[in-house]
Amino acid sequence: MLEPGEEHGGRWLRELGAVALMRLLTGPDPGPGPLTGAGPERIAGYRRRAALAEPARDLE
């Protein structure tokens, strides 16, 4: 879901942790609050990719 070197995604991962970040990206839209620094279009892209993630498959 996150590509190496993604500034915003990497910061969110460090600050929020993996589980909380996935909850924010796959749950109801939290608004701009916790996902700071990226515009609505970029956040929508992260949310689309998160919706397609299948951790068991993706980590093989």
pLDDT tens sequence across 15-58: 999 899 999 999 988 776 788 888 889 889 999 999 998 877 87
pLDDT for the residue numbered 36: 86
Tokens 């689309």 correspond to: 48
pLDDT for the residue numbered 32: 67
> pTM of the full predicted structure?
0.78
Collect all residues with Cβ–Cβ distance below 8 Å to 41 and sequence separation of at least 6: none
pLDDT for the residue numbered 15: 93
For residue 60, pLDDT over 80 is answered with no
For residue 3, pLDDT over 70 is answered with yes
User: Burial code of 13-50, b = ≥16 C-beta within 10 A, e = fewer?
Assistant: beeeeeeebbebbeeeeeeeeebeebeeeebeebbeeb
Distance of CA 34 to the CA centre of its chain: 11
